[in-house]
Amino acid sequence: EIQMTQSPSSMSASLGDRITITCQATQDIVKNLNWYQQKPGKPPSFLIYYATELAEGVPSRFSGSGSGSDYSLTISNLESEDFADYYCLQFYEFPRTFGGGTKLEIK
């Protein structure tokens, strides 16, 4: 089973900041990685697929990068609506596995 280590587990930032969240897999997942945003009381929302591709309707301040076993989500110029939980998912193989999540809070 591929383990996904996501960091940090929580962080605080200010409006306008640029932040980065990382996910490390226990093996090469060949960019088979998605990022999701989750707000309280809502299901996860699709942000980025295949590590770098923005899902439909996602603002361009979100970006994804990485290869091999190391991936990151960057949010530039943080807006109030961006404060939420974020998760990565590897879909290289079954069982699909998620990162432990990052709680992004406003400073």
Instruction: Return the residue matching tokens 């989750």.
Output: 38
Per rule CB under 8 A, is residue 49 in the interface with other proteins? yes
- Binding of other proteins at residue 85 (CB under 8 A)? yes
Q: Could you tell me which stretch among 16-24, 36-44, 62-70, 76-84 binds other proteins (CB under 8 A)?
A: 36-44
Question: Of 55, 63, 65, 76, which one interacts with other proteins (CB under 8 A)?
Answer: 55
Q: How far is the CB of 63 from other proteins (least distance, A)?
A: 18
Q: Does 94 bind other proteins (CB under 8 A)?
A: yes
State yes or no: residue 91 binds other proteins (CB under 8 A). yes
Should residue 98 be labelled a site residue for other proteins when binding is judged by CB under 8 A?
yes
**Is residue 64 within 8 Å of residue 72, measured between CB atoms?**
yes
Strand residue runs (E) in the chain: 4-7, 10-13, 19-25, 33-38, 45-49, 53-54, 62-67, 70-75, 85-90, 97-98, 102-106
Q: What is the CA radius of gyration of the chain?
A: 13
Helix (H, G, I), strand (E, B) or coil at 31: coil
Task: Using CB under 8 A, pick the residue from 16, 43, 60, 80 that binds other proteins.
Answer: 43
